[in-house]
């Protein structure tokens, strides 16, 4: 069977199509979790998987802290801090009491059926232009949440998130993988990483068997996900911690000092959209500036405010100037009266 139509591992082995109908802005690394820490991103994806796997669609589900630890690879304290930030600061989840954990629900605005290209106001250039709006859901293999989230590092997980959104397809009751040709720089851009970091993470992912590629270095490659190897992945080991020694606390080496270049005053850097903006709006790609992010749908051109046409301002006596004769007409009238006409 060719790679282009190879179904996921669980679809073939068990006959059960275990997949998640994920919302694009939740899965894209440039979306809701763009500025999240690794712990927050892992907790959000773990909650998303459990909530999306309900029989009646997205709702609320109770998750114990022990289970959340196993799904994310972080300890209980890190999970509690991440959940508190997402609930109070980002306002993207809600939770209530649950024995040994919390009852979680993800805030989201209902998404209806809309056209693929509609007039929208871009959040980057703030212009009304045609935008390619994302479809309501994308299929994601459930193994992504069960095995990859606790096993991969932050950059590696973001790259697989970007690849999964592009390559997973649903057709004829099976989850298919569609290989994609891309440069390394393009994956780095979609995962919001430097190109050197992306090259290192891609090499590690190929070593683990998470993905595979064909092509030479520096050229366009054909990338493919390998979900048949995901089930054998183990959670990542705990990192070595500890406080710095007293004589090195607060001291930085010269080669590690980060030098921030000055920013001109006339240059305005656009701010990244907040997680709540992703929750409350559709996402799409602006055809004018090429930016992907939240867009505000515009029903018609009539609803777009237009600049009023400048008109001459009327002063005192202007209304009577049109009926008042000119100086020449007045003199000609005097001459005709003298002539007896």
Assigned token pair, 199: 């090259």
| Beta strands 101-106 and 168-171, pairing class | unpaired
Return the number of other C-beta atoms located less than 10 Å from residue 77's C-beta.
10
Tell me the pLDDT band of 298, cut-offs 50, 70 and 90.
Answer: confident
CA-angle at 284, arms to 280 and 290, nearest 5°: 135
Closest CA to 292 of 278, 275, 276: 278
Q: Tell me whether strands 282-286 and 292-297 are parallel, antiparallel or unpaired.
A: antiparallel
pTM over 0.85: no
Beta-strand runs (E) in 1-45: 19-22
Q: What is the mean pLDDT of residues 22-30?
A: 86
| % of the chain exceeding 90 in pLDDT | 30
Helix (H) or strand (E) holding 149: helix 149-151
Which residues have CB under 8 Å from 35's CB, separation 6+?
Answer: 272
Among the residue ranges 53-67, 166-180, 203-217, 320-334, the one predicted with the least confidence is: 320-334
Please give the average per-residue pLDDT across 257-268, as a whole number: 56
Place of tokens 């890190």: 78
pLDDT greater than 80 at residue 274: yes
pLDDT digit string, tens, across residues 123-145: 888 888 888 888 778 888 888 98
């Amino acid at each position: 069977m060719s790679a282009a139509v190879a179904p996921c591992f669980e679809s073939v082995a068990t006959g059960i199509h275990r997949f998640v109908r994920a919302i694009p802005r939740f899965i894209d690394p440039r979306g809701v979790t763009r500025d999240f820490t690794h712990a927050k991103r892992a907790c959000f994806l773990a909650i998303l998987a459990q909530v999306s796997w309900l029989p009646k669609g997205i709702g609320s589900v109770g998750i114990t802290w022990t289970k959340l630890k196993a799904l994310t690879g972080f300890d209980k304290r890190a999970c509690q801090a991440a959940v508190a930030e997402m609930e109070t600061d980002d306002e993207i989840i809600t939770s209530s009491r649950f024995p040994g954990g919390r009852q979680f629900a993800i805030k989201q605005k209902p998404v209806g059926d809309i056209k693929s290209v509609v007039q929208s106001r871009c959040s980057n250039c703030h212009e009304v232009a045609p935008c390619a709006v994302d479809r309501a859901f994308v299929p994601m293999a459930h193994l992504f949440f069960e095995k990859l989230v606790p096993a991969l590092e932050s950059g590696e997980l973001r790259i697989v998130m970007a690849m999964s959104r592009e390559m997973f397809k649903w057709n004829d009751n099976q989850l298919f993988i569609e290989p994609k040709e891309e440069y390394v720089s393009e994956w780095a851009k979609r995962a919001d990483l430097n190109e050197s970091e992306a090259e290192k993470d891609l090499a590690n992912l190929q070593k683990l068997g998470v993905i595979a590629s064909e092509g030479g270095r520096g050229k366009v490659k054909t990338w493919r996900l390998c979900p048949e190897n995901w089930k054998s992945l183990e959670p990542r080991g705990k990192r070595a911690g500890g406080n710095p020694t007293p004589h090195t606390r607060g001291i930085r080496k010269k080669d590690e000092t980060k030098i921030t270049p000055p920013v001109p005053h006339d240059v305005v850097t656009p701010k990244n959209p907040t997680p709540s903006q992703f929750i409350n709006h559709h996402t799409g790609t602006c055809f004018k500036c090429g930016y992907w992010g939240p867009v505000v749908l515009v029903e018609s051109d009539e609803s777009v405010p237009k600049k009023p046409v400048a008109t001459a301002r009327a002063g005192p006596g202007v209304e009577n100037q049109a009926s008042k004769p000119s100086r020449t007409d007045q003199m000609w009238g005097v001459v005709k009266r003298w002539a007896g006409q």
